[in-house]
Amino acid sequence: MSKVIHTKNLWKVFPNGVEALKDVNVEVYKGEVVGLMGPSGSGKSTLLHIVAGLEKPTKGEVYLMGHDITRMGEDELAYLRQKYVAFIFQFYYLLEDFSVLENLTLIGELAGIKNPKDKAMEILEYLRLTNRLKHRPSQLSGGEQQRVAIGRALMLEPSILLADEPTGNLDIAEGRRIFELFLRLREERGVSLLVATHNEELKVYFDRIYRLRDGKLDV
């Protein structure tokens, strides 16, 4: 089974001297749903941002689909992200002045996808959101907004989904529905997932779990 994510001896030290990550080694294999668990401030978000290429490590290496992203320039990195990776945030960052359908279609247009509206409709049907096409984000429940955010990520047909506390604003029942959707994406679309959460009730959904505390992996 091939590795889709691999970090080697990863450190992140901020200018104020805070060591957010300390010698972190993480692997995710194709088709896995891997948990990244730990208390708030343990380094989970920092690790996800570095894996996504949104931040640079202080030292260490990060491989995505076999490519060492720590040696890439911004253009090369942006291309790799667009081709393989999608990021799902705890705060949905939907465009409030646009409908559900428009939120997805716009992403497709910016990415140069052929027939982005048709693609958006296909994804929204898959996510059971066709009854919300013309609704704006403020008219949706928290769970529906998160599903729209996931749909927006799926517009790029990613191989890897990185999710940072994706159920942090949801009740446990809605959170379970989101995690069941993640499992469907793995089974039906072959997506690999690395998901950060501090909610112990959701650990049953993971194939494996890495636990962070004070920037270090618990062994």
Q: How far apart are CA 140 and CA 138, in angstroms?
A: 6
| From 22-31, 55-64, 70-79, 117-126, the region with the lowest mean pLDDT | 70-79
Q: Which residues contact 160 (CB under 8 A, 6 or more apart)?
A: 4, 5, 28, 64, 65, 84, 85, 86, 191, 192, 193, 194
Please tell me the distance from the alpha carbon of residue 149 to that of residue 101, in angstroms, as a whole number.
11
Percent share of the chain, pLDDT over 70: 100
Domain 3-217: CATH class, spelled out: alpha beta
pLDDT at residue 91 tops 90: no
CA torsion sign, 156 to 158 to 161 to 162? negative
pLDDT range class, residue 48, cuts 50, 70, 90 = very high
In the chain, domain spans:
3-217
pLDDT at 111 over 80: yes
The average pLDDT across 116-134 equals 93
What pLDDT is recorded for position 115? 93
Structure confidence by residue, pLDDT tens digits, 156-207: 889 999 999 998 888 888 889 899 989 999 999 999 999 999 889 999 999 9
* 47-51, 98-102, 123-127: least confidently modelled range: 123-127
Question: What does 9-66 look like in DSSP terms, one character per residue?
Answer: EEEEE-TTS-EEEEEEEEEEETT-EEEEE--TTSSHHHHHHHHTTSS--SEEEEEETT
pLDDT at 219: 62
**Residue 92 confidence (pLDDT) above 90:** no
pLDDT at residue 78 above 70? Answer: yes
Which H or E element spans position 194? strand 192-197
Residue in this structure with the two tokens 């609704």, named with its chain if needed? 135
pLDDT over threshold 80, residue 1: no
The reported pTM is: 0.91
The overall average pLDDT reported for the chain is: 93
